[in-house]
Amino acid sequence: MDAPEEIWEYEPAFGMTKTFRIESRKYSIVDEEIVRGISLRRSLSGCARVWRYKPATWKPEYRAALYELSRNVAFFDVFLSHTWQTAGWHKMLALSFQCGCWNTLALWCVAEITAMALCLTDVLPMPFVYEANVMGFTQDCPMGLWTITFGSLALFLGLLLTPYLPDRCSQSDVGFIDVASIDQQDPRLMERGIYGIAGFLSVSSELRILWSSPYLSRLWCVFELAAYKKVNPRGIISFRPLFVERIMLVLMIASVVFGFCVVLARSGTGGSGMLYLTYVVFVVPYGLSAVLLRRNYREKHALRREMEHFDLNQVACSTDFDRRFIHAAIEKWYGSKEAFTEHVRQDLRRELESSLATSCFPLPYLLLFFATLLSASFEFFLALWKGGAPLECLLSFAVGILVGMDIFVGAACIVLMTRLCDRFAPRRFGHFDHLQTFVIFLIIVTMFGAGNSLSIAAYTYSLEYALLYALAAFIVCVFVVWLDRAAV
């Protein structure tokens, strides 16, 4: 990533004290000696030790070690803005998805190809039996749990191994992370770093807001928003609510467990008890996901209200000097505190509306979810292949299940569920509020169940019916996505 096009103003380092900055009103001068960045992926190494604890709780030697993780840089690809009022594991999870989703998908593809190759060459045993009935092909086909096992491990290990992938496998992600980029041990360097944040923002290509509900209540977070718009007007502001990755993780785990149960039930293992367990595994995690989605979308609506009624004087700050410093900088950049307050309520709120308006997950996250569905379906595809099913039967299954059901119907269900949870997030009906969640979940279960039943009927009858089903599923998916966009 290229550096921002602005001409940056530098100053000799010896004068960069907080008193000098507030008296000279040079808030955005870049203190180039202490411009230090760390790879966002590398910040997740060592079990994400950068994020696990608040800086104030670290021992002195550990604080010094944090600073050594960063290195001198000329500019930042990303400036991470967040609050330590939110637990670090939320940010660890978010960055694992943001930095590792594409590599995880690549690893998943390799894992699935490997599992299929090993099964087809009889290296891996396939001890279960799948009673196939596809377009007149009726045969007891050998079946295993290898594609879903390999695929699931690849997905979750891929996210965990994100910090250890070679740099050439990812884009440049040199970022500003306060605890590593600012010396937490040397008081002089710490002061220069904290009060030089506006300078760091001026050399950052992107301001990425890891948003959580306490964000706008912290004055330094507000300062970063205020500064970036003025010192780096061409920079990108990206809004990343932390709840998105939490929900996606729940959905992925639910889908994997559901997939295992479906495979075991269809292979005859566990009898009717496994079939009932499959229903429970579907209902409980996905019902929980709907509950969590509504709760987290209430946070999003609360953010809209917070920005609409923003009051700079009500934002919390730890020291009086920090408050004076930040207010003075804001008055310089915006003319007055009142003008900045109006900017947040109007211009900034409208700018972030595009990020707030969409309720769907980013495309890479949807692909990760599709991967969990496909991993289970590949078991049946592999069983048919191994059992000697004709090519037309394999194509019918691939079109009807892998494409029509897992991708198009799966996408429609996820988009519709997120839109409904967003639309009906506010509490209603008092103690009976969960009825809203139940109705949403009932709609999604009905849609998923109907789609699954129709897909099975279509692909088992003929390839032509499978193609018609996939086309119909595609039209439904496009319609649901259009409704989601139209509701923005």
Q: Retrieve residue 296's tokens.
A: 């987290």
Which DSSP string do the residues of 78-114 spell out, in sequence order?
EEEE--TTS-HHHHHHHHHHHHHHHHHHHHHHHHHHH
Residue 239: phi, psi to the nearest 5? -105, 115
Q: Judge whether residue 488 has pLDDT over 80.
A: no
- CA atoms of 400 and 370, how far apart (whole Å): 15
How wide is the angle at C-alpha 369 spanned by C-alphas 367 and 371, nearest 5°?
70
Q: What is the mean pLDDT of residues 157-163?
A: 91
Report how far residue 267's alpha carbon sits from residue 380's, in angstroms, rounded to the nearest whole number. 9
Q: Give the mean pLDDT of 136-141.
A: 91
Rounded mean pLDDT, 252-263: 87
The percent of residues in the chain predicted with pLDDT above 70, rounded, is 91
The Cα–Cα gap between 263 and 92 comes to 32
pLDDT of residue 5: 36
Tell me the C-alpha to C-alpha distance, in Å, between residue 15 and each of 19, 71, 324: 9, 22, 20
Residue 22's alpha-carbon distances to 30, 34, 224, 332, 367, in angstroms, are 15, 19, 16, 11, 49
pLDDT at 185: 86
Alpha carbons within 13 angstroms on the beta-carbon side of residue 454 total: 18
Q: Are 230 and 56 within 8 A, CB to CB?
A: no
Tokens of 376: 């289970």
Whether the Cβ atoms of residue 226 and residue 340 lie closer than 8 Å to each other: yes
d(CA 414, CA 408): 10
- For residue 474, the model assigns a pLDDT of 98
Summarised one tens digit per residue, pLDDT across range 247-257 is 899 889 888 98
Burial of 7 (0-12, 13-18, 19+ CB in 10 A): exposed
Query: Measured between alpha carbons, how far is 219 from 127 in angstroms, rounded to an integer?
Result: 61
pLDDT at 377: 95
Rounded-to-integer distance, Cα 462 and Cα 320, Å: 74
pLDDT at 1: 41
Q: What is the pLDDT of residue 274?
A: 60
Q: Identify which of 40-49, 228-237, 266-275, 393-402 has the greatest average pLDDT.
A: 393-402
Query: Strands (DSSP E) along 165-219, which ranges?
Result: 174-176, 206-211
Q: Which residue has the higher pLDDT, 485 or 198?
A: 198
Give which of 59, 81, 253 is closest to 181, Cα–Cα: 81
Asked if pLDDT for residue 320 goes beyond 60, the answer is: yes
User: Which has the higher per-residue pLDDT, 12 or 477?
Assistant: 477
Q: What is the pLDDT of residues 418-434, one digit of tens each?
A: 889 988 888 888 778 88
Question: How does pLDDT run across 272-297, given as a tens digit for each residue?
Answer: 556 566 667 667 777 888 888 888 88
Instruction: Give me the mean pLDDT over the 447-452 stretch.
Output: 92
Contact 240, 101 (CB under 8 A): no
3-state secondary structure of 134: strand
Residue 2 has pLDDT above 50, yes or no: no
Query: Regarding beta strands 78-81 and 206-211, do their DSSP bridges make them parallel or antiparallel, or are they unpaired?
Result: parallel
> For residue 208, what pLDDT is reported?
94
Answer whether 98's CB lies under 8 Å from 240's CB: yes
Q: Per DSSP, what are the bridge partners of residue 133? A: 138
CA distance linking residue 316 with residue 186, whole number of Å: 25
**What residues are paired with 142 via a beta bridge?**
129
For the cut 70, the answer to whether the pLDDT of residue 358 exceeds it is: no
Structure confidence at residue 394 as a pLDDT band (50, 70, 90): very high
Q: Which of 40, 65, 429 is nearest to 240 (CA)?
A: 40
Per-residue pLDDT tens digits for 359-384: 578 899 999 999 999 999 999 999 99
The answer to whether 380 and 256 are in contact (CB under 8 A) is no
Q: Which residue would you say has higher pLDDT here, 288 or 477? A: 477
| Terminal-residue alpha carbon distance, the chain | 31
Q: Which position has the higher pLDDT, 108 or 10? A: 108
Give the model's pLDDT for residue 347. 82
Mean pLDDT, all residues of the chain: 86
- Confidence band of 169 (pLDDT split at 50, 70, 90): low
What DSSP string describes 386-455? HTT--HHHHHHHIIIIIIIIIIIIHHHHHHHHHHHHHHT-S--SGGGTHHHHHHHHHHHHHHHHHHHHHH
Tokens in use for 261? 């149960």
Measure the CA–CA gap between 1 and 148, rounded to whole angstroms. 37
Residue 158 is encoded by which pair of tokens?
Answer: 């891929």
The band of 461, judged by pLDDT with boundaries at 50, 70 and 90, is very high
CA–CA separation, 27 and 290 (whole Å): 45
Q: Give the residue-averaged pLDDT of 29-36.
A: 89
